[in-house]
Chains A and B, each alone.
Chain A
Amino acid sequence: MKKLLAIPAYLWAVVCLLIIPVTFIRNDTFAEQLATLSFMKVHPVYSGGELNRKYQQDSLTISVNKPVSATLLGSRKQQLQVTFSQKGHLPGIIDQTIDYDFDANPDFKVTINTASGETQLTPLVSDVRSCLASSKVKEDWVIRVNLDKK
């Protein structure tokens, strides 16, 4: 009986032996299949979240994403991503007033020196807290703003 039970054990050992080469040889295929699973997407805190509205202001295209919760439970903290883009080069200074909730009232004013990266954010309503990140990303300029949930 013990000898019989040992057969599947040895078979599993042989399968374990095969798993290593297969894992690496077929890594791209398995990774593509894994990437199709529903949970395989970067959390909005890192990706910036869904686009809410895109509009043109002067020569700039401004993309305002939906605010995303910055923690899992019970926190009022949110993050908002705004992307500034322009055909060709970005202007030396980006100076814009943003209405992120589209209630026709400006929520914050942002001034960015695209050469030095210096960013000044002035909240115009109480739920806007501070600038979390500001950086050139490829050809665009991206800012992330800390918000309090309304």
Chain B
Amino acid sequence: MKKPRVYATEGSIWKSILLTFPMILLILLFTAGGPPDLSTPEKSIAFLTTFFFLITLFFLILYTGKTDRYRAIGFVTLALFFALTFIVNLIKARGSMTFSQENLLACEIPFCHIVTTMIIIPAVITNSIIFPGSIIGGFASIASMLVIVIGVSLALGRGFCSWGCFYGGWDDGTSRLAHKPRIKKVNPVFRWFSFAVLLVIALISAMTLNPAYCDWLCPFKTVTEFEKVTSFSILMKTIVFLSLFVALVIILPVLTGKRFQCTTLCPMGALLSLTNKINAFDVRINKENCSSCEKCVKACPTLSLTAEDMTAGRPSITCMKCGKCIDACTKSAIHYHIKGTPNNKNYSWARNLFLYPAFLLLVVFLGGTMQSGIILLINLIKTGNLIY
């Protein structure tokens, strides 16, 4: 059965173009940061490809009424280009993906948003940050990343996990690889695991003054940077994070169709679920329209929807606002909603007001990363060397 049109822009080219126009200006601002640099053919290709790629995605989100389908393309692209550019930059700067004792002693480790979960308690108790990074200046300084974490928490809450996180695209991508998941039913109790990880990691990090998740568990060290293996304990850590990457980012997402790492292991996701109350946006279920087909339950990549949640009229606090359930619903019973406004009204307003900050977050992270990545790939084709 064809889904009825619910959004003003759906199927309307002119309305979609009109609402894409402000985003074109924002994309121009955040991808070029001024007049675009078209000084070399490589830079021109990189800029124009990125620019039109982002505009097309946003236009299609508006025109088709499908959010997750086009969000995911941008989100997975972000994860791939982020890993590529990060690793190449590391190899250029340090000669390898590994960091050494010198980098640790000189406090030169880039700060990642996930570390936030481990520094809060020690910051309160010791009045300092337990991370070997730079407070300000340099690449990914602590202060700069904390500003982003605070801003994103205020504006989108856990929406960050589906629109801005430069790691999330990995298991979002792998969870879509199999046309039909082999494991069809996953117990929703797994969605609470990340809260247990957050609690344990925060306490252990405070006790040991060591960001334990980064040190031992973070699977995304596989696609960014990791400690040079110089001892048995570092070898053990390497085996642990590589195993977690293979299991939670590749095998389980492929088998279940769920974002397993984000759902069960990421402490940042759990923290953002707790701060998610502040921002203006959530997802609601219109029970009058709902036929209880549970397509949304099957579609949800983070186990945030169960039959009980549908009765309650909203997904659980673990919802990442990816829009997959909204796309899956044939009755238009699920929609983005602005907290404090009447449910089941003004679907278009709520969706558009959410889409602008959410898509802009994707633009901010993907814009520069994609351009750098394209330049690297062009040089790879031209010279046969990625690190020139």
A binding-site residues for B, Cβ under 8 Å:
2, 5-6, 8-10, 12-17, 19-24, 27-28, 30-32, 34-35, 38-48, 69-73, 133-138, 142, 144
Interface residues of B in 328-364 (CB under 8 A from A): 338-342, 349-350, 353-354, 356-357, 360-361, 364
Q: Which of A8, A27, A70 contacts B144 (CB 8 A)?
A: A27
B binding-site residues for A, Cβ under 8 Å:
26, 29-30, 100-102, 104-107, 122-136, 141-144, 146-148, 150-152, 154-156, 206-209, 279-281, 338-342, 349-350, 353-354, 356-357, 360-361, 364
Least CB distance from B149 to A in Å reads: 10
> Given A6-B341, A20-B156, A23-B148, is A43 in contact with B105 using a C-beta cutoff of 8 Å?
no
Q: Which 4 A-B pairs have the closest CB atoms?
A: A23-B151, A9-B340, A31-B143, A13-B280
Chain B residues contacting A9 (CB-CB under 8 Å) are 280, 338-341
Once bound together, how far apart are the Cα atoms of A40 and B119, in whole Å?
A: 11
> Given A20-B357, A20-B360, A133-B104, is A72 in contact with B209 using a C-beta cutoff of 8 Å?
yes
**Count, A-B residue pairs, CB within 8 A:** 154
Q: Is the interface of A mostly helix, strand, loop or mixed?
A: helix
- Known A46-B130, A72-B209; further 13 A-B contacts with Cβ < 8 A: A16-B279, A20-B151, A20-B155, A22-B151, A27-B147, A30-B147, A30-B151, A31-B136, A32-B143, A42-B134, A43-B129, A134-B101, A135-B102
Q: List 5 A-B contacts (CB under 8 A).
A: A10-B349, A19-B151, A31-B141, A43-B126, A135-B101
Least CB distance from A114 to B in Å reads: 13
Q: Which residue of A lies closest to B350 (CB)?
A: A13
Once bound together, how far apart are the Cα atoms of A87 and B125, in whole Å?
A: 40
Contact B128 A41 (CB under 8 A): yes
Chain B residues contacting A71 (CB-CB under 8 Å) are 207-209
